[in-house]
Amino acid sequence: MKENSYGEVNVVNEEEIDLRELIFSYLSYWPWIITSVFLCFVGAWLYLYFTPPVYRVSGSIIIKDEKRKGMWELLSGWRI
């Protein structure tokens, strides 16, 4: 029950749901349901078949130069 702003009580009628009646009412649409599910699967397959895969790639290169001395080797020659 709900009370409105005037203090009156609104009674909500609750009806039982007949599950058998509900199922049989939707069974008349089963060809449309099966066709829709089939078309969705075909559409998903076509999308996955024709879309090229995209991969994320990263890399790094380490360059070692034997001729250059490191910063610490250069500073070690100075006497401060």
In a domain, 23, yes or no: yes
In a domain, 50, yes or no: yes
In a domain, 31, yes or no: yes
pLDDT band at 30 (very low <50, low <70, confident <90, very high): very high
In a domain, 72, yes or no: no
What domain range includes position 30?
A: 2-55
Domain count, the chain: 1
In a domain, 35, yes or no: yes
What CA–CA distances, in Å, run from 2 to 8, 10, 11, 13, 16? 8, 5, 7, 12, 20
Most confident of 5-9, 53-57, 76-80: 53-57
Query: Picking from 18-22, 29-33, 36-40, 75-79, which range would have the lowest pLDDT averaged per residue?
Result: 75-79
In a domain, 11, yes or no: yes
Average pLDDT, the chain: 80
pLDDT (0 to 100) of residue 15: 78
Residues in contact with 48: Cβ distance below 8 Å, sequence separation at least 6, in sequence order = none
